[in-house]
Chains A and B, each alone.
Chain A
């Protein structure tokens, strides 16, 4: 690094071009990519946040979000850790094609699931599978910047071979007596130098590994069924849910509020016209605005597709809609007609602005 790079400015939120400077295999199906700015930049973000890759794959513009697995305490590069998944179009594309020297456009950082916006004194990190990535960033941040932080970390995985960041986490716990690491492995394999349980995470395991778990602020990340299970488990024992925080990874929204509300078959499937600029398309009451926009090939960033990240914000100029999420919108924005396209369906013909 030369002097100029050393003095590089902080990363500003928005679209940035990054260059992959290193990639390595974490496990048999997980790869990490280290990036630097095409223009030298210091990566300033909140531990736990994600970036959104903006990609053109086979002529389609796709956007997907990935948690930053590195820590902002080490700001000169940024690491994203990606698991190959069956049918995972973007993840597999990146694992197969993104090589050292390639550049990509990303937007971000974003995400409320982070240690800056959620202050805590004692931490409980619960993760499963590739849900470990924000926890790793957070752990690194805490051990780099707040030495002595009280961290209990319980990670669930299928087998030993699926453990991501294992060696690095082990070193962290060895150096930091206030950090404790436990695993639950479905395979039942045992690990050297680290306690592990057999099977999926249960309350008993949790109580054994982290006796004071009820007093901690909990951060949960993993596949949807895992998070639901953890949430149910904690609610069941009267955990103070104001200290419960979870990140959800991808997947289309499971909520189908319109149908649930029993609008009736006709109303729910009646076609409405969605007008965006010069283009118009027909949507049933069951399709999301996002589906309509993407069908017309219009530029929109849809990262989480679950009403969480706020990337697909757009404005209704006329017409009626119904939304299952307004999570990232301010009351003023809602008042002005802003919606999240991924979580909004038409109730009449609608004219929309993407600006």
Chain B
């Protein structure tokens, strides 16, 4: 195996990346290899999809399948070999289908059938053992002997960035948001990445294109979410146990949460959100359900303890899942969509009775805890509603700085940096947050500035879109560039969604972003230097040093 896509990947003086029998996430070498093979076949599918499009041949099923299957290879999503093989076989069938359609169209119009990337012609082995033997030629760092490490780093940046965008495409698709142009661009980039380019400029430009593509995807997702569930409203939510039978819904897909809420109505089951599902509690069409009682637990890396202590069923609608056998709850966790874990019940379709029956069979919480409320729901609309007051306070000097501290959470001790910087941020600053990185500080008391809460929880990681909209609005009010605003972005990254959001911000020209706790292992010193020179992108240092630098510059 070779996998270097997440923050916890192995780093050694001899080289970075998980390349032994198991990744740091628990993914076995075979699973990793099968995922790489899947991606390779998907690149072949995209190569044909791109060519076929020139003839007006568009298959919406393929357009949604490729990003979805790609999403299955994201960190902490699918550890089930059989499901990965199924995706691969499906991809292979689609590839054949598109190939035939493309070649027929060429023939019909008297055009020459073009030779495509090798991924478009790989003959997929029929059994797992033979598929695994094919993995050597499909590893993400294939050909590393021939290319310099900066090129390899750029390829990986693009591959992982596009994977993040694919995940958001699938999240948007669930909410009926698809766009043929977006799909076309996606296939184009996916096919390009299958070409193993050695053109640094082209790869760098592609990274920016991925960022731009993802900006569109986040807008679609925002549209889908607000259309389906209304605009988030500032909402006080409880974050502790409530007496009664219980279901915990984790991941990002609010559609699943809505289905669960509908199907548990009147059944005496309390529904809790977990991790990145927390923002759902602020959407009018979800919070209207009285049995959606609050959020339980914190970010993904604590699930083995929190799920173990949760006396009900758990539904994992998307990333991140980690080994449920550790906390001995594999029999009461359920996976959805692209998520998979060997031996865990996977719910297909819209019927959640398996999870509901499980929740009913379990004890539930025997007691209430003293409610602990936090305020969430400061997405685009709420931020815009608050904008005049914010502007007034900026003009009067009551608000001197804005921080956006968020991203992914993780279990490295260095991540206390994000708690510390939020706590140390001056009292005349506003802290916006998003993603599961917020759990590093979202239960602390930050107070308010003339009624404006100092901590504004914008939402899920993809709600970076809302933060960008606020920044644009503020820059218009103050008649300046976004980079001239007293706004500092301090982002924690863990997996590929964070990578693509970073690419989006860079592609929008946002400068001087700090990221931590460590730089992606696939970025070489040269690439980091380029990113620093071009965008002022830098790694976090110490809270004191960074705050000094941020506030002196501002």
A102, B443: Cβ atoms closer than 8 Å: no
A4 in contact (CB, < 8 A): no
Looking at the assembled complex, report how far the CB atom of A214 sits from the nearest CB atom of chain B, in whole angstroms.
47
**Which of B241, B368, B442 has its CB near the most chain A CB atoms (within 10 A)?**
B368
B370 in contact (CB, < 8 A): yes
Count of chain A residues with Cβ under 8 Å from any Cβ of B?
20
A297 in contact (CB, < 8 A): yes
Looking at the assembled complex, report how far the CB atom of B533 sits from the nearest CB atom of chain A, in whole angstroms.
34
Chain A residues lying within 8 Å of B419, measured Cβ to Cβ, are 297
Looking at the assembled complex, report how far the CB atom of A347 sits from the nearest CB atom of chain B, in whole angstroms.
26
Assembled-state Cα–Cα distance A104/B372 (Å): 13
A58, B444: Cβ atoms closer than 8 Å: yes
Assembled-state Cα–Cα distance A60/B243 (Å): 23
A84-111 contacts to B, CB under 8 A, are 97-99, 101-104
Instruction: Identify which of A101, A104, A278 contacts B243 (C-beta below 8 A).
Output: A101
B290 in contact (CB, < 8 A): no
Chain B residues lying within 8 Å of A101, measured Cβ to Cβ, are 243, 367-368
Looking at the assembled complex, report how far the CB atom of A309 sits from the nearest CB atom of chain B, in whole angstroms.
23
Chain B residues lying within 8 Å of A57, measured Cβ to Cβ, are 372
B385 in contact (CB, < 8 A): no
Instruction: Identify which of A59, A97, A103 contacts B367 (C-beta below 8 A).
Output: A103
Assembled-state Cα–Cα distance A60/B444 (Å): 7
Looking at the assembled complex, report how far the CB atom of B433 sits from the nearest CB atom of chain A, in whole angstroms.
13
Assembled-state Cα–Cα distance A154/B207 (Å): 79
B336-374 contacts to A, CB under 8 A, are 366-372
A38 in contact (CB, < 8 A): yes
Chain B residues lying within 8 Å of A59, measured Cβ to Cβ, are 441-445
Assembled-state Cα–Cα distance A60/B372 (Å): 12
Q: Is the interface of B mostly helix, strand, loop or mixed?
A: loop
Looking at the assembled complex, report how far the CB atom of A45 sits from the nearest CB atom of chain B, in whole angstroms.
22
Assembled-state Cα–Cα distance A97/B413 (Å): 32
Chain B residues lying within 8 Å of A311, measured Cβ to Cβ, are none
Instruction: Identify which of B367, B372, B413 contacts A17 (C-beta below 8 A).
Output: B367
A278-B413, A279-B413, A297-B416 known; A104 vs B370 contact (CB < 8 Å): yes
A1-58 contacts to B, CB under 8 A, are 17, 19, 38, 55-58
A97, B366: Cβ atoms closer than 8 Å: no
Assembled-state Cα–Cα distance A99/B238 (Å): 15
Chain B residues lying within 8 Å of A19, measured Cβ to Cβ, are 367
Chain B residues lying within 8 Å of A279, measured Cβ to Cβ, are 413
Size category, B interface: 10 to 19
Closest to A60 in B: B444
B437-452 contacts to A, CB under 8 A, are 441-445
Assembled-state Cα–Cα distance A19/B369 (Å): 9
Instruction: Identify which of A38, A55, A60, A99 contacts B366 (C-beta below 8 A).
Output: A38
B444, A102: Cβ atoms closer than 8 Å: no
B243, A97: Cβ atoms closer than 8 Å: no
A102, B416: Cβ atoms closer than 8 Å: no
A103, B368: Cβ atoms closer than 8 Å: yes
- Mask, B231-271, CB within 8 Å of A = 1, is 00000000011010000000000000000000000000000
A58, B368: Cβ atoms closer than 8 Å: no
Instruction: Identify which of B241, B370, B441 contacts A98 (C-beta below 8 A).
Output: B370
Closest to B440 in A: A59
**Which of B367, B441, B443 has its CB near the most chain A CB atoms (within 10 A)?**
B367
Looking at the assembled complex, report how far the CB atom of A298 sits from the nearest CB atom of chain B, in whole angstroms.
11
Looking at the assembled complex, report how far the CB atom of B15 sits from the nearest CB atom of chain A, in whole angstroms.
25
Closest to B445 in A: A58
A129-181 contacts to B, CB under 8 A, are none
Instruction: Identify which of B240, B416, B443 contacts A58 (C-beta below 8 A).
Output: B443
B362-394 contacts to A, CB under 8 A, are 366-372
A252-306 contacts to B, CB under 8 A, are 278-279, 296-297
**Which of B240, B372, B441 has its CB near the most chain A CB atoms (within 10 A)?**
B372
A278-B413, A279-B413, A297-B416 known; A103 vs B369 contact (CB < 8 Å): yes
Instruction: Identify which of B369, B441, B442, B445 contacts A102 (C-beta below 8 A).
Output: B369
**Which of B241, B370, B371, B445 has its CB near the most chain A CB atoms (within 10 A)?**
B370
Chain A residues lying within 8 Å of B366, measured Cβ to Cβ, are 38, 103
Assembled-state Cα–Cα distance A129/B241 (Å): 35
Closest to A101 in B: B368
Chain B residues lying within 8 Å of A99, measured Cβ to Cβ, are 370
Assembled-state Cα–Cα distance A73/B445 (Å): 41
Closest to A103 in B: B367
A102, B413: Cβ atoms closer than 8 Å: no
Assembled-state Cα–Cα distance A328/B524 (Å): 56
B367, A102: Cβ atoms closer than 8 Å: yes
- Mask, B82-104, CB within 8 Å of A = 1, is 00000000000000000000000
Looking at the assembled complex, report how far the CB atom of A325 sits from the nearest CB atom of chain B, in whole angstroms.
30
Assembled-state Cα–Cα distance A97/B238 (Å): 13
Looking at the assembled complex, report how far the CB atom of A113 sits from the nearest CB atom of chain B, in whole angstroms.
28
- Mask, A231-269, CB within 8 Å of B = 1, is 000000000000000000000000000000000000000
Assembled-state Cα–Cα distance A278/B413 (Å): 8
Chain A residues lying within 8 Å of B445, measured Cβ to Cβ, are 58-59
Chain B residues lying within 8 Å of A278, measured Cβ to Cβ, are 413
Chain A residues lying within 8 Å of B369, measured Cβ to Cβ, are 102-104
Closest to A55 in B: B370
Chain B residues lying within 8 Å of A56, measured Cβ to Cβ, are 240, 372, 443
Looking at the assembled complex, report how far the CB atom of B42 sits from the nearest CB atom of chain A, in whole angstroms.
40
Instruction: Identify which of A38, A102, A296, A297 contacts B370 (C-beta below 8 A).
Output: A102
Assembled-state Cα–Cα distance A159/B229 (Å): 57
Assembled-state Cα–Cα distance A101/B240 (Å): 14
Looking at the assembled complex, report how far the CB atom of A37 sits from the nearest CB atom of chain B, in whole angstroms.
11
B367, A38: Cβ atoms closer than 8 Å: yes
Assembled-state Cα–Cα distance A300/B336 (Å): 39
Chain A residues lying within 8 Å of B413, measured Cβ to Cβ, are 278-279
Looking at the assembled complex, report how far the CB atom of B414 sits from the nearest CB atom of chain A, in whole angstroms.
10
Closest to B443 in A: A59
Chain B residues lying within 8 Å of A97, measured Cβ to Cβ, are 370-371
Chain A residues lying within 8 Å of B372, measured Cβ to Cβ, are 56-58
Looking at the assembled complex, report how far the CB atom of A156 sits from the nearest CB atom of chain B, in whole angstroms.
32
Assembled-state Cα–Cα distance A269/B371 (Å): 41
Chain A residues lying within 8 Å of B371, measured Cβ to Cβ, are 97, 102
Assembled-state Cα–Cα distance A104/B370 (Å): 7
- Mask, B415-445, CB within 8 Å of A = 1, is 0100100000000000000000000011111
Assembled-state Cα–Cα distance A98/B240 (Å): 13
**Which of A59, A101, A104, A297 has its CB near the most chain B CB atoms (within 10 A)?**
A59
Assembled-state Cα–Cα distance A60/B371 (Å): 15
Chain A residues lying within 8 Å of B367, measured Cβ to Cβ, are 17, 19, 38, 101-103
Assembled-state Cα–Cα distance A297/B423 (Å): 13
**Which of A17, A58, A60, A99 has its CB near the most chain B CB atoms (within 10 A)?**
A58
Assembled-state Cα–Cα distance A302/B372 (Å): 22
Offer 30 A-B interface pairs, CB within 8 angstroms, sorted by A.
A19-B367, A38-B367, A55-B370, A56-B240, A56-B443, A58-B443, A58-B444, A58-B445, A59-B441, A59-B442, A59-B443, A59-B444, A60-B444, A97-B370, A98-B370, A101-B243, A102-B368, A102-B369, A102-B370, A102-B371, A103-B241, A103-B366, A103-B367, A103-B368, A103-B369, A278-B413, A279-B413, A296-B416, A297-B416, A297-B419
Q: Sorted from nearest, which 6 A-B pairs have the closest CB atoms? A: A59-B443, A103-B367, A58-B445, A59-B444, A102-B370, A97-B370
Known: A55-B370, A297-B419. 10 other contacts (CB 8 A): A58-B445, A59-B444, A97-B370, A97-B371, A98-B370, A99-B370, A102-B368, A103-B241, A104-B369, A279-B413
